[in-house]
Amino acid sequence: MPVKFFGQYLLEKGLILPRQLMQAVKYQAEKNLRFGQYAVAKGYLTEKDVEKIQNQQKSVDKRFGEIAQDLNILTRAQVEEILTMQKNDHKLLGRVLVKKELLTSEVVERELVLFKEDQSKYDLGDIVAPPGVRNPEIVREIVDLSHKMLQRMTNLNAKVKKGFISKDEPQRNFLLISIFLSGNLEYEYVLSMSNEISRLVTAAVLGSDTAGISRELISDGVKEFCNIVCGNIIARLSQKGRSVDISTPREIPFSDNGYNLVKGRNAIYYPIVSPKGDSALILIER
Amino acid sequence: MNKKKVLLVDDSAATIHQMRKILEDSGMFEVVGHGKNGAEGVQLYTSLKPDIVCMDLMMPVMDGLQAIRTITSIDKSAKIVVVSSAAGVGDKTTEAIRFGAKNIIAKPLEAENVIEILNKL
């Protein structure tokens, strides 16, 4: 089961109708105020301050409160006060559905347990981000989810080795597929895959074996795999309040001079070892 | 039993391949065409008049949200299901529903889930 949000889960199970979900989400949007709105209501910030911080958020991967503290226009205590208010006032979807009499509280409680059980498959494992990387928690999430999805979709016994930072270009491999992550997070996500793992991944995506299929379709299968993994990553990040978009996947060509991918930037390498050859997840800071 | 006619719109040949297999193996659906982007999807919708459209969100030329909006403006009763890797992102899902999608299927695809959702339309 992929990473989902609760509303989508209820919709898929046929427990609510699309228009009922919209009704509840609209109510949430009206009632759940944003950080800046609280700060203005409390008289801590002006509308102009909010606009300034929102503009900075477009280029800096920081939360609203963090930027306000950096600019010395909110104190740490004020940020914490607003976060507590926001948390206490937050209208959860389940409660809204009960309030609007679209579901009973018994059904919501029962389904929340099942939903959390389903999503616990993607709970964070013991992957560690190398010292000095930006957003270490998010890097952990990305690597962990990629590893879990690779294992779940292919039944491959793959292990992620310790991550390290390098400016070197990757070693030659059968396929290198890249996707750009942009928005609250700026990374280039790259999977380097051996021939055998590429075939396994493609077989999982196609739902059939890969005997006799072209290299082009294998490349397309791995691209789609990367797309699925990154889609699930941004779904997970959106649950944590991070708005991230992904580009369409592309294959990185290998030339006589090697790959021209990292181009002297900081790349976090996570080698992935398995009986079907070696792969790597590479996150390049943009 | 008459099979329901399905139009697939996705820029990934791998997804088209998998969806076609899931739908045709069920014996309940017939894939009548596939488009590689939203614009092709709209064009094929008007010419093929399918019972159901399975629409990806992120595609070149015209994305899935725009295509859903265009198709539902032509035919309010169009039965469109989003099939996307980003389906777990709440904002994208609710936007698709606001534009007229009837349900959402997240990738990786599970055959039983796909058939169940399409059967409920």
A149 in B contact zone (CB under 8 Å): yes
Q: What span, in angstroms and rounded, lies between the C-alpha atoms of A54 and B109?
A: 37
pLDDT exceeds cutoff 90 at A286 = no
Distance from CA of A75 to the nearest CA of B (A): 31
Q: Which residues of B, range 20-59, sit inside 8 Å of A by Cβ?
A: 21-22, 58-59
Q: Does B93 touch chain A (CB under 8 A)?
A: yes
- What is the nearest CA distance from B3 to chain A, expressed in angstroms? 22
Establish if A16 touches chain B: CB-CB under 8 angstroms: no
Residues of A in contact with B58 (CB under 8 A): 227, 246, 248
Segment A99-116 shows an average pLDDT of 92
Region class of A105: left (phi > 0), else alpha (psi between -120 and 50), else beta: alpha
B100: closest chain A residue by CA: A18
Return the residue matching tokens 């949007």: A29
pLDDT above 60 for A254:
yes
Chain A positions in Cβ-Cβ contact with residue B94 (cut-off 8 Å): 7, 21-22, 25
Highest mean pLDDT: which of A118-132, A263-277, B33-47? B33-47
Q: Give the pLDDT confidence score for residue A237 in this predicted structure.
A: 86
Contacting residues of A for B84, CB less than 8 Å apart: 231
Please provide residue A280's backbone torsions phi and psi, each rounded to the nearest 5 degrees.
-155, 145
Note whether A12 contacts B: Cβ–Cβ < 8 A.
yes
Q: Do residues A26 and B95 make contact, with C-beta atoms less than 8 angstroms apart?
A: no
The stretch A253-270 carries a mean pLDDT of 89
Q: Which residue of A has its CA nearest to B19?
A: A206
End-to-end Cα separation, chain B, in angstroms? 17
Confidence of residue A30 (pLDDT cuts 50, 70, 90): confident
Cβ atoms A24, A30 nearer than 8 A: no
Top-confidence range, A58-67, A250-259, B39-48, B52-61: B39-48
Query: A193-241, pLDDT tens digit by residue?
Result: 999 999 999 998 888 777 788 888 899 999 999 999 998 898 888 888 7
* Between A240 and B38, residue with greater pLDDT: B38
Query: Which residue(s) pair with B53 in the sheet?
Result: B7, B80
Contact A246, A231 (CB under 8 A): yes
DSSP of chain A, one letter per residue?
-----HHHHHHHTTSS-HHHHHHHHHHHHHHS--HHHHHHHTTSS-HHHHHHHHHHHTTS---HHHHHHHTTSS-HHHHHHHHHHHHHH---HHHHHHHTTSS-HHHHHHHHHHHHHHHGGG---S--PPTT-SSHHHHHHHHHHHHHHHHHHH----EE---EEE-SPPPP-SEEEEEEEEES--EEEEEEE-HHHHHHHHHHHHTS--TT--HHHHHHHHHHHHHHHHHHHHHHHHHTT--EEE---EEPPPBTTB--SSTTS-EEEEEEE-TT--EEEEEEE-
User: Residue B47: its pLDDT value, please?
Assistant: 96
Distance, in angstroms, between B22 CA and closest chain A CA?
Answer: 8
Q: Chains A, B: CB contacts under 8 A, how many?
A: 116
Residue A59's CB is within 10 A of a number of other CB atoms, namely: 8
Q: How is residue B76 written in tokens?
A: 């309010």
Nearest Cα residue to A64 out of A28, A102, A104, A37: A37
* A248/B117 Cβ within 8 A: no
What is the pLDDT of chain B when averaged over all its residues?
91
| C-alpha distance from B103 to closest chain A C-alpha (Å) | 7
Say if residue B50 is preceded by a cis peptide, omega within 30 of 0: no
Mean pLDDT of A122-151: 83
Q: Are strands B4-9 and B29-35 parallel, antiparallel or unpaired?
A: parallel
pLDDT of residue A177: 96
Taking contacts as CB-CB distances below 8 angstroms, the residues of chain B near A181 are none
The token duo for B48 is 């093929």
Among A18, A149, A206, select the one facing B103 at the smallest CB separation.
Answer: A18
Per-chain mean pLDDT for chain A: 87
From the list B11, B88, B117, the residue facing A2 with the nearest CB is B88
Give the residue from A205, A216, A226, A251 with the most B CB atoms within 10 Å of its CB, the best one to mutate: A205
pLDDT of residue A60: 60
Residue numbers in A near B89 (CB within 8 A): 5, 231, 234-235, 238
CATH 3.40.50.2300 assigned to domain B4-120? The reply is yes
Say which amino acid occupies A88.
Answer: N
- What is the rounded average pLDDT of the residues B6-30? 93
Residue labelled with tokens 């590893």: A147
| Contact assignment for B18 to A248 by CB distance below 8 Å | no
How close does chain A come to B25, measured CA to CA in Å?
12
B4/chain A closest Cα distance in angstroms:
20
Distance CA A10, CA A245 (A): 24
Instruction: Closest CB to A228: pick one of B98, B104, B108.
Output: B108
Check if A206 contacts B (Cβ < 8 Å).
yes
H or E segment at B82? strand B80-84
Most confident of A44-58, A79-93, A194-208, B29-43: B29-43
ipTM of the complex: 0.84
- Interface touch B11/A248, C-beta < 8 Å: yes
Contact A93, A6 (CB under 8 A): yes
Domains of chain A from N-terminus onward: 6-121 (no CATH), 125-285 (3.40.1550.10)
